[in-house]
Amino acid sequence: MSDLDYPAGLRYTAEHEWVRADGEVLRVGITSFAQEALGDVVYVSLPAVGDTVAAGDTCGEVESTKSVSDLYAPVSGEVTAVNGALDATPELVNSDPYGEGWMYEIRPADAGAADALLDVDAYTSQLS
Amino acid sequence: MPTMTDLLHSPIHDRHVALGAKMADFGGWSMPIEYPGGGVVAEHTAVRERVGIFDVSHLGKARVSGPGAADFVNRCLTNDLRRIGPGRAQYTMCCTETGGVVDDLIQYLRSDDDVFLIPNAANTARVVELLAAAAPEGLVVENLHDRYGVIAVQGPSSDAVLRRLGLPVDHDYMSFVETEWEGLPVIVCRTGYTGERGYEIVPPWEVAGSVWDELVAAVSGHGGLPCGLGARDTLRTEMGYPLHGNDLSLDITPVMAGAAWAVGWDKPAFWGKDALTAERAAKQSRLMRGLVASGRGIPRSHCEVKDAAGTVVGEVTSGTFSPTRKQGIALALLDRSVTLGDEVVVDVRGREVPATVSKPPFVEVGVRER
């Protein structure tokens, strides 16, 4: 695991998703650990813009050659954007999980919702 | 579920660990799924376009020897050994009297008195047990699981790689040559599970590591990769080759699986002959078909298949993403009312994925090319 990275400025969930605050919205993706465990990602199914989700809801799927994982909404709110590039190039999730491989953006119902998620130390300590 | 420490290790295990391979349990053996720097798709593509090497030492090895060994095996297993001569290998199945498949395996005919078998990892002990119990006086049935490794070299550049090692190449599809490696006997068989031209090398356990090391060096000169069992599964699924436990089982007979070609129907006897003959004549059982997903989504084993009216007409037995076609493909057992070209729907975790019924293989390949 030593070559996988977990940026310090992000928030994380126990389901191996990351959340980055970007103005009023939160950008969501899956962590290095998650993409490494899945292997080559071949399909990403995302929520629709405008969907309202509750924290913990299943709101999409990430599928690799060998397995499939659900995406869970990290906080409650409304989906404001999705990464359409993943339709044609799902491998971005493997090559750049915190950048070009982002999944969707959500406007949280509670502006401080992300603060309750794990910080990098809390997340990485549960990986071992 | 055994823990990783309970799992058996291939003779090449330390090489996989050194390469940083992701390991998983395959039939009680800890084997590589994929390697860093590769991944299933890159490894798959290497085999289709260039060459890949697979450690498949978890596969069983067994031997039946003694006067009339081939005749004895021919009375037990499904395929007809009389169709081939010494130096040839053949796909066959070990069935129960009710026609279920205990295992599918490759039988190497060395002589009338010597047959070498390659069963699946998890079924080797059972196949050996059944043969040993049935064997007449004078025949020896040996489980040689940990006496040999098995390394598959697969892909259009396979011949060049084997030549670099000084191993024999260019023998016919499904034939084998016995040679030597570091003074020990090695079998090189023109077989594989990928659909590409290639070989399976069976070296004694103690030299499997050195064969592997030289193959790793040789394939790198041809744009090749060490490949894990993840790619082996996508490659075999693209060919429509059955995997025991998914597409063949005690409940899925050779008739259902479309493996009737590997049954010697005219033989006086083989295990399961009466039940399979009756099943074949009745034309009632479901049949194995291919499915190509026309939408996004990957059919997976045990997904239900429905017709246009929503009636369940079958079940997926193996499904994956085809790296060659970049779409979902599957093998499914379907009612006989469903025919090639029909549009069906696969229930993938509650989502309906449309698919077309088709005849595997799903890709064009060169396994038999001269």
B47 inside domain: yes
CB contact under 8 A, B320 and A45: no
Last residue of a domain, one of B143, B170, B204: B143
Model pLDDT for residues A73-128, shown as the tens digit of each residue: 999 999 999 999 999 999 999 999 999 999 999 999 998 899 999 999 999 999 87
Q: How far is the alpha carbon of B343 from chain A, nearest alpha carbon, in Å? A: 22
B269 inside domain: no
B276 inside domain: no
Residue B295: pLDDT band with limits 50, 70, 90? confident
Residue A7 has pLDDT above 50, yes or no: yes
CATH assignment of the domain containing B300:
2.40.30.110
B52 inside domain: yes
B272 inside domain: no
Least CB–CB distance from B234: residue in A65, A68, A91: A65
DSSP code string of B283-335: T-S-EEEEEEESSS----TT-EEE-TTS-EEEEEEEEEEETTTTEEEEEEEE-
B204 inside domain: yes
Model pLDDT for residues B262-279, shown as the tens digit of each residue: 999 999 999 999 999 999
A94 inside domain: yes
Least CB–CB distance from B40: residue in A61, A66, A68: A66
Number of helical H runs and strand E runs in chain B = 8, 20
Residue B297: pLDDT band with limits 50, 70, 90? confident
Q: Mean per-residue pLDDT for B227-250?
A: 98
What pLDDT, on the 0 to 100 scale, is given for residue B215?
Answer: 98
Q: Mean per-residue pLDDT for B208-213?
A: 98
CATH assignment of the domain containing A88:
2.40.50.100
Residue A1: pLDDT band with limits 50, 70, 90? very low
Model pLDDT for residues B76-122, shown as the tens digit of each residue: 999 999 999 999 999 999 999 999 999 999 999 999 999 999 999 99
Total tally of structural domains belonging to chain A: 1
What pLDDT, on the 0 to 100 scale, is given for residue B272?
Answer: 98
Sign of the CA dihedral running B245, B248, B253, B256: positive
Complex ipTM value: 0.84
Residue B15: pLDDT band with limits 50, 70, 90? very high
Counting one residue from chain A and one from chain B, the pairs whose CB atoms sit within 8 A come to 43
Total tally of structural domains belonging to chain B: 3
What pLDDT, on the 0 to 100 scale, is given for residue B38?
Answer: 87
What pLDDT, on the 0 to 100 scale, is given for residue B370?
Answer: 67
Euclidean distance between CA atoms A19 and A7, whole angstroms:
11
CATH assignment of the domain containing B85:
3.30.70.1400
Percentage, residues of chain B above pLDDT 70? 98
Residue B37 has pLDDT above 90, yes or no: no
CB contact under 8 A, B296 and A43: yes
Q: Could you tell me the residue range of the domain that residue B12 belongs to? A: 4-56+147-239
What pLDDT, on the 0 to 100 scale, is given for residue B4?
Answer: 59
Percentage, residues of chain B above pLDDT 90? 94
Q: How many CB atoms lie within 10 A of CB B126?
A: 15
What pLDDT, on the 0 to 100 scale, is given for residue A3?
Answer: 57
Residues B195, B79 share a domain: no
Q: Could you tell me the residue range of the domain that residue A71 belongs to? A: 11-109
Strand pairing category for B225-227 and A25-30: unpaired
Q: Mean per-residue pLDDT for B50-78?
A: 98
Mean pLDDT over the full length of chain A: 94
Q: Which of A65, A71, A91, A94 to probe the B interface (max B CBs under 10 A)?
A: A65
Residues B232, B174 share a domain: yes
Residue B284 has pLDDT above 60, yes or no: yes
B70 inside domain: yes
Last residue of a domain, one of B239, B265, B297: B239
SS3 content of chain A, % helix, strand, coil (to 5): 20, 35, 45
Residues B324, B193 share a domain: no
Mean pLDDT over the full length of chain B: 96
Residues B219, B165 share a domain: yes
Residue A2: pLDDT band with limits 50, 70, 90? very low
CB contact under 8 A, A42 and B41: yes
B274 inside domain: no
Last residue of a domain, one of B102, B119, B143: B143
The tokens for B259 are 């493996």
Q: Is the peptide bond before B156 cis (omega within 30 degrees of 0)?
A: no
What pLDDT, on the 0 to 100 scale, is given for residue A94?
Answer: 96
What pLDDT, on the 0 to 100 scale, is given for residue B56?
Answer: 98
